[in-house]
Amino acid sequence: MQRLMQVNVQVTEPVYLKDPQATELGRRILEQGVRLIDELGLEAFTFGKLATELGTAESSIYRYFENKHRLLIYIIGWYWSWREYKLAFDTANIADNRERLARAIRSITEPVTDRGSFSYLDLRALYRIAVSESAKAYMTKGVDAEHREGCFGSFKRICDRLKEHILLVRPDHPFPAMLASNVVDGSMIQRFFADHLPSLTEKQARTRLSEFFVELVFSTVNTPRS
Partner DNA sequence: GACAGAACGATAGTATTGCTATCGATTAAG
Partner DNA sequence: CTTAATCGATAGCAATACTATCGTTCTGTC
The rounded distance, in Å, linking the Cα atoms of 83 and 103 is 13
Q: How far is the CB of 124 from a second copy (least distance, A)?
A: 17
Least distance (Å) between residue 176 CB and a second copy: 8
Among DNA, a second copy, none, the one that 17 touches (CB under a kind-dependent 5 to 8 A) is none
Which DSSP state fits 111? P
75 within 8 A of 30, measured Cβ to Cβ:
yes
Q: Does 193 bind a second copy (CB under 8 A)?
A: yes
Residue 103 has a CB neighbour count (10 Å cut-off) of 18
Instruction: Decide: is 145 part of the binding site for DNA (CB under 7 A).
Output: no
Q: At what angle do helices 97-109 and 153-169 cross, to 10 degrees?
A: 150
Nearest alpha-carbon partner for 19 in 93, 83, 74, 82: 74
Of 8 and 223, the one with the shorter C-beta distance to a second copy is 223
72 in contact with a second copy (CB under 8 A): no
**Cα–Cα distance, 94 to 101 (Å, whole number):** 10
Footprint on residues 106-135 left by a second copy (CB under 8 A) = 132-133, 135
Helix/strand/coil (H/E/C) assignment for every residue in 155-204: HHHHHHHHHHHHHHHCCCCCCHHHHHHHHHHHHHHHHHHHHHCHHHCCCC
Regarding 23 and contact with DNA (CB under 7 A), the answer is yes
Q: What is the dihedral of CA 153, 155, 160, 162, to 10 degrees?
A: 150
For residues 173-191, b (16+ Cβ closer than 10 Å) or e, as one string? beebeebbbbbbebbbebb
User: Residue 48's binding partner, choosing from DNA, a second copy, none, with beta-carbon cut-off 5 to 8 A by kind?
Assistant: DNA
Whether residue 81 contacts residue 154, with contact meaning beta carbons closer than 8 Å, is answered with yes
Residue 58 makes contact with DNA by CB under 7 A: yes
> Per CB under 7 A, does 62 bind DNA?
yes
Which of 35, 63, 98, 208 is close enough to bind DNA by CB under 7 A? 63
Among 18, 115, 147, 196, binds DNA (CB under 7 A): 18
60-68, 89-97, 171-179, 214-222 -> range binding DNA (CB under 7 A) = 60-68
66 binds a second copy (CB under 8 A): no
Q: Which residues bind a second copy (CB under 8 A)?
A: 40-41, 43-44, 132-133, 135-136, 138-141, 143-144, 147, 152, 156, 159-160, 174-182, 185-186, 189-190, 192-193, 196-197, 199-202, 205, 208, 212, 215-216, 218-220, 222-223
